Amino acid sequence: MKTAYDLLVIGAGPAGSAAAIRAAEAGLSVLLVEKRQEIGAPVRCGEATDIETAERFMPVSPRWALHPVTSYAIFNARGESVVVPPSSPTLIIDRRAFDLSLAERAARLGAEVRVGTTAVGLLHEGGNGSGAVTGARLRGLGRDVEVRARLVIAADGVESQVARWAGLKTIPPLADYYVGFQFTLSGLAGRINPDHCEYHVGATSIAPGGYVCVFPKSDDRANVGLVIAASQARATSAQAWLERFIERRYPRAGVLSVVAGGIPVTGALKTMVTDGLMVVGDAAHQADPLTAGGISLGMIGAELAVQVAVAALQRGDVSARALREYDGLWQARFGKMHAALYAVRKILTRMAEADFDTLVALGARLPLDTMSHAELITQLLKAHPALLLEARTLVTTGLLLK
Ligand SMILES: Cc1cc2nc3c(=O)[nH]c(=O)nc-3n(C[C@H](O)[C@H](O)[C@H](O)COP(=O)(O)OP(=O)(O)OC[C@H]3O[C@@H](n4cnc5c(N)ncnc54)[C@H](O)[C@@H]3O)c2cc1C
């Protein structure tokens, strides 16, 4: 490991590796560090992602691409469902192999990749924690080293500390933070359809302020995960809610693995840069504020960040002012849509379970594949006029204008 690079990327999840790939392609010298001993493990993910984004970073490979998702069914607590196609072609992946393949690609393009290496502090221009970020202190293999970088990208995920060290406000309110718990279950043959993912929603009987998802990995195995708003988890934990669901729906299933994790669902931070530092992925709250899917969004965020970073490094100006273009690019691409998805989550959170049940029952009878958004919304408003008030939020955020 050298002691100076153009770019230091902290965290080798999808966002960090995507940043390293794009930066190496642009000819920058890159160091990508990961605190875990092994990239991608343990897996904290339902393992569904949008194929088009993945494909722009590496060729699709059977090593990590398991099978396509042909439909999503959204269930109410009474067991009725609305079936919709994915909004973009989606794959179930082996997330461990996916993350590893991305990091390998970055390495093949010339990035240096170091696992078991934790960023433990930032270096600053002025010393004493003041001035622009100029690198980081890294701890690995029993020693500490100071690595200088012309620019640092924080891709350290939901537990991100790096952005906070740099003075950015990253702690989400509890109501905008999902806590997640997930089992990989086996023995599900005949009880799942491998190409068909499920969401189960029920504010009082399934997952308050969240949902359960069932993402099949084969015809016998599925990731069955639950997220609830952290503000709801005090009364009954995410694990307890999930166990109740599994007892009802998949009794006697085998448990192959268990993961717990969190996801900020605020929509992206308004400020994702400071002097000498940019933030990407979950660390920048780039996950979808409704479903919490964050793999492809983090990778796109990384791509936008590096696009701005390369130009800034060429000009020799990595001040916050120069890097702020990244905030603008993100907002232009996802700002309205994420504000709308955030508003939809808030509406669902406030909605009584019985009202949601009615909407799903109605949706189950509608020809969704041939209906326009406007027709669908008209039908839903007829069934549930109180939504009219809520719809104002969506109009102002742009969802109904699309
Ligand atoms: C239960 C659950 C299910 C989910 N299911 C899906 C899904 O099906 N589809 C989807 O798109 N998204 C899903 N998500 C969200 C998705 O996993 C994240 O959005 C995605 O991993 C974000 O990628 P990232 O690279 O920003 O962060 P991460 O993948 O979290 O990577 C950050 C990396 O930084 C490392 N790191 C942290 N601190 C340091 C440090 N100081 N020094 C060095 N390294 C450090 C971490 O070890 C980690 O490897 C799920 C999340 C959870 C919790």
Count CB neighbours of 118 within 10 A.
17
Q: Is the CB of 40 under 6 A from ligand 1?
A: no
CA distance 137 to 300: 27
Contact 90, 49 (CB under 8 A): yes
Contact predicate 300/284, CB 8 Å: no
46-75: per-residue pLDDT in tens? 899 999 999 999 999 999 999 999 999 999
Bridging pattern class, strands 133-140 and 117-124: antiparallel
pLDDT, tens digit, 9 for 90 and up, residues 157-216:
998 999 999 999 999 998 899 999 999 999 999 999 988 999 999 999 999 999 999 999
Classify each residue of 255-267 as buried b or exposed e, where b means 16 or more C-beta atoms within 10 Å of its C-beta.
Answer: eeeebebbbbbbb
Using the mean position of ligand 1's atoms as its centre, give its distance from the Cα of residue 48 in Å: 13
Question: Which residue CA neighbors atom 51 of ligand 1 most closely?
Answer: 45
CATH code, residues 174-264: 3.30.9.10
CA nearest neighbour of 7 among 159, 136, 195? 136
Cα 151 to middle of ligand 1, angstroms: 22
| Residue 135 Cβ contacting ligand 1 at under 6 Å | no
Residue 391 has a pLDDT of 61
Q: 344: which residues sit within 8 A by CB, 6+ positions away?
A: 290, 394, 399
Alpha carbon distance 331, 402 (integer Å): 16
Enumerate residue ranges in the chain where pLDDT < 50: 400-402
Q: How far apart are CA 327 and CA 245, in angstroms?
A: 40
| Residue from 239, 263, 300 whose mutation best tests the ligand 1 pocket (most atoms within 8 A of CB) | 263
CA-derived radius of gyration, the chain = 22
Q: Is the C-beta atom of 22 inside 6 A of ligand 1?
A: no
From the CA of 178, give the closest atom in ligand 1.
53
pLDDT at 401: 38
Q: In the block, which residue shows the tokens 């718990």?
A: 181
CA of 364 to the centre of ligand 1 (A): 34
Tell me, rounded to whole angstroms, the distance of Cα 390 from its chain centroid.
Answer: 26
User: Which listed CATH number (3.40.50.1860, 1.10.10.920, 3.30.1490.20, 3.50.50.60) goes with 4-47+94-171+267-323?
Assistant: 3.50.50.60
Q: How far is the CA of 16 from the centre of ligand 1 (A)?
A: 10
Question: Can you tell me the distance from the alpha carbon of 123 to that of 54, in angstroms, rounded to the nearest whole number?
Answer: 33
Pairing of strands 196-200, 71-75: parallel
In angstroms, the CA 296 to CA 94 distance is 15
309: CB partners within 8 A, 6+ apart: 7, 23, 151, 153, 278, 318, 323, 326
Is the N-terminal amide bond of 68 cis, ω within 30° of 0? no
Q: Which atom of ligand 1 is nearest to the CA of 280?
A: 26
Residue nearest to atom 29 of ligand 1 (CA): 13
**In the 3-class helix/strand/coil scheme, how is the chain assigned residue by residue?**
CCCEEEEEEECCCHHHHHHHHHHHHCCCCEEEECCCCCCCCCCCCCCEEEHHHHHHHCCCCCCCEEEEECEEEEECCCCCEEEECCCCCEEEECHHHHHHHHHHHHHHCCCEEECCEEEEEEEECCCCCCCCEEEEEEEECCEEEEEEEEEEEECCCCCCCHHHHCCCCCCCCHHHEEEEEEEEEECCCCCCCCCEEEEECCCCCCCCCCEEEEEECCCCCEEEEEEEEHHHCCCCCHHHHHHHHHHHHCCCCEEEEEEEEEEECCCCCCCCEECCEEECHHHHCCCCCCCCCCHHHHHHHHHHHHHHHHHHHHHCCCCHHHHCHHHHHHHHHHHHHHHHHHHHHHHHHHCCHHHHHHHHHHHHHCCHHHCCHHHHHHHHHHHCCCHHHHHHHHHHHCHHHC
Cβ(51) – ligand 1 distance below 6 Å: no
Ligand 1 atom having least distance to the Cα of 262: 53
Closest C-alpha among 258, 266, 214 to residue 237? 258
